[in-house]
Structure formats: structure tokens, C-alpha cells
Structure 1
Amino acid sequence: MPELPEVEALAGYLRERAVGRRVDRIEVAAISALKTYDPPPTAAAGRAVVDAGRHGKFLDLVLDGGLHLITHLSRAGWLHYREAFAAAVPLKPGKGPIALRVRLDDGSGFDLTEAGTQKRLAAYLVTDPTLVPGVARLGPDALGADQATFAERLRGRRGQVKGVLTDQEVLAGIGNAYSDEILHTAKLSPFAITNRIPDEKMAALYAATHEVLGDAVRRSLGQRAAELKGEKRSGLRVHGRTGLPCPVCGDTVREVSFADSSLQYCPGCQTGGKPLADRRLSRLVR
């Protein structure tokens, strides 16, 4: 799933490639992906791209006249930029992984695609980003919150820190992968309870959040959209590395699995050498 660094890099890529061009048309191949119809996709035709940005993990393509094409790529979505499309043949609804295509006036543009059978990619054409329910509910940006706000937000939502860090209403932009990396850098158990985290550990968590996300943004900016997934994987130390040695202490990276997700951590760095039980209702190390 694209998280804050990748969405920031995609926005930068669109600013470089698309700003100044005009939208020729928007084609919708997956009807379920487009969540709004007022204004309709035809309203974007002829409008200039004036900016690109993000709201947490939402990508925002800004058109003149105050129109925004906002996308949440969800777990299996991605953006593929094309310098030139192979043919001008319109997309056929329901065919292939392409959910939506934006054609620009110079023949370039991009596809929003989604792999797999769970179709969760969402696109919104709106006059105000806050009309998108997910954007309206976002908490402060994970890189924008100061230390006091960061601590207040986390302690205000009592729960296991792994889950609270990824709650977009608490802090915007952190997902499954970078939360594992942040907790590893902070040397904190993913199951530590937020309102019990002492001040010094909270300060370490805040610093780790800025270190991990800031480094990922720096590595991602300037990369082509097609290279961002590989760049993300190359910078991960525990996430997706179950069974491999921790690059910090050498202990074996372990995993806790849930119904539709998993987390990775290093016992040596994060839990005093004790492995966490890999089942939801176990008595967990904190």
C-alpha cells in the first residue's frame, strides 16, 4: 500500500510531468472506482493541471477552476504514467486492471490500476478536498505534527501503538510498512499501550517517525513512479523481512499474523528478546 513517502513522491512526479498540461479527458473503466458523479468526469476536460499534492495517503491532482481529482490507491492500487498512450481507443469498462485513465493534451497521461479481486481503489472528482469523507476525517499529518501534538494524539486514542499509529484519524500518512519501521527504530513493542508510553519513549517514537518518513521521502522524491515500490522495499529493515537477521542487532525478524494483515518486529531491539505470541487473544508482551 502506498504510504506518505510514496504518495508525496507521486505528487512530485505529477508536478514535474503534468502541471501546465490540460486534461483531454478522463476515462473510467471500473465504475466502482469513481465515487462521485457531480461534477461528472467530463467536467475535467480542457482544464489545466495547476498542482499536485497529498492529504495523508490521498493523492490530489489540482485542476484550474477549483476542481480536484483525489485518489486513494488502497492496498493494491498504483499510478502508471505514460509519456504516450499506444492507441487512442477508449477503455472498455471491466477489462483489465485499469480503473481510470487521465489523458492530457500532449498525448501523455496516467492510468490508475488495481491488482487482485478486492477492488478498493477510490477516485473522487470534487470542488473541495474535504468533500471526500476520508480526507475530512484525517488527523494531523504525521510529518507536520509537532512533538506535543504527536503525543497528545497518540495518548488520546488508547490502544496498541501499532494500530493507533496507522489510524488515519489520529495521524495521517502512516501505514502498515512504515509503522513497523518506526517502531523498530524507536525500539518499542508494537503492542505497547499508547497511554502508558513514558515521555522518553514517546519522544523517541516522535523522532523515529520523522527519521523513517523523512528518509523515505528523500529517497523517493525524483524517482519515476515505476521505481517507487522497489525503492520502498530497499529501505525496509524489518517489514516484509520475516526470518531474516535484524540489520541492527542480528536477532531474527519475527511476524505476528492477523486475519488480513501482519506485522514484523525484532525481539532483540523491541521486546527485550521475547517473541510475541502469534495469535490475537494471547497474553502479549508490552
Structure 2
Amino acid sequence: MHFILARLKADVIFHCAAYKHVPMMEMNPIEAVKNNVFGTRNLVDAAVSSGVSKFVLISTDKAVEPVSIYGSSKMIAEEIVLAGNSENTGMMAVRFGNVLGSRGSIVPLFQRQISKGGPVTITHPDIKRYFMTIPEAASLVLKAGGVGRDGVLYLLDMGEPIIIRELAEQMINFYGFRPDKDIPIVTIGLRPGEKLEEKLWSSDEDPQPTEYPGIIKLEKDERFNGQLQTLLDDLRNICFFTSSKPDLYRNRKRLRTTLKQYIPELEIPENEPEY
């Protein structure tokens, strides 16, 4: 990445890349942290060394009081980016929820299930999620990146959360079928790392309006009490092999217990294998 950016001479980076599917990241926690945390760290360092003027991280509502590995990895990524803000390279993060129609999102899944005659599967009858369309998300991210202040975390206004069962019913009706008669709706249970409802900001974040519709500024303090680098050092010994601490390499239990020291909301499965 350093090699590429040194030759591209980029002015602005929108860091959208991440492993994002919550259940998959619960199954592969080491890879989630390697990519979402250390991938971000690497890109931030490369952006600074190559003279990029602005860096915008795309974050998620799952980074708020996260119970999952994915949410925890994005919380840390937010802190890496905001801590990396400097006079020469302005850095900010933009947080939002689910994007309708994106890869792996629920609408294409429901469409496939309806086309096959059902059932349409939901994880809980009361589960809610925030949604934006792809054009809405892209437009507001670009606007926030253009007008936002460096060193600040922003939130895109997504309105009210949608009850997923109601979304399923509306889609079944749209295709000319009757919910629970022509097309059954089946509850399969919450998946690992899932919440019933996501929050948009934590108790220590203060949402403030901006002069730009749809963009909210989140006032916050540094999250890890000056221990971000210590956390990264601890995680590095688990995600990457070091001859001085070979027993830590790819130790999943140690990864979760290390994260939980800094992120108390993180859930640790009872049956988590050590490796």
C-alpha cells in the first residue's frame, strides 16, 4: 500500500474496504481484526507518508457499544483514524447503518427466498435495523468528506429503524403474495454477534446538528483512555506470528479476552475454541 500510494499521489482516500458480515466475522475473528483493524492502520500510515490530504473512513452503527467482533473491529478502526488526524493529512470517520441492495444485504436475500416460494427467514420478530439506499449513502458520504471537519466523527441521519418482519411482509405483498399464507415467514433465531436493535451513538457520544441536512456531528472523547497503541500491540501478537510469543498466534480466546478488556460490551461465546 505504501508503494502504491507513493506512486498514485492520491489527494483523498475513502476507506470503504472491510470484512463486514457479522456471523462470518464471529467465525473468523482473527481475519476480521487483521483486515479491519490492521488494514486500516496500514492504510492510515501509508496515507500520511505519501502526503494524502484527506482520509475518510466508512464506519458502521455496529461500532456503537459492540457485542460482536465486527463491531469491535470497526470501533477500533474509528479510533485509529481519528487519532491519525494531522495538519498535513486530515482524517475523519462517517458512520451509518445498512445499505439497501448492497452485497449480502437483506433485500436481495428476501427477493431470492420469495422467488423460490419461501420461506422468508428472519432472525427475530422484533429485530430492527437502520437503512439507507446506495445513492443516499454515497451522496452523503461524499458531502461529509467534502465539508466535514478533520478529526471528527460524523453520522448520517437514517431516520427511524425498520422492523425486519414488516419489511418481509411488505416485500411479499409487493410480489403479489400473502404473508404467512402464500409465503411463510420463519423465525430462525438471532445469529452470533447480532443485536435486536443497533444504536447510532453511545452514551459517551453527543450528537450535534450541522448546517448540512442529513449529516450529524458526534462529539466524543478518545475511547481507550490513551491505551490505543497498547491495544494494537496486544492484538498484533495474536494476529501475526512473533517468535517471542508464539503461543499467542491465532489464539481466538486470547483475542476476545484482550478485546473485552477495552470493549466490555463484547460477548464471548461459551464454546469459543482456543485456535
Query: Same fold by TM-score, threshold 0.5 exceeded?
Result: no
| Structure ranking higher in helix proportion | 2
TM-score by length of 1: 0.25
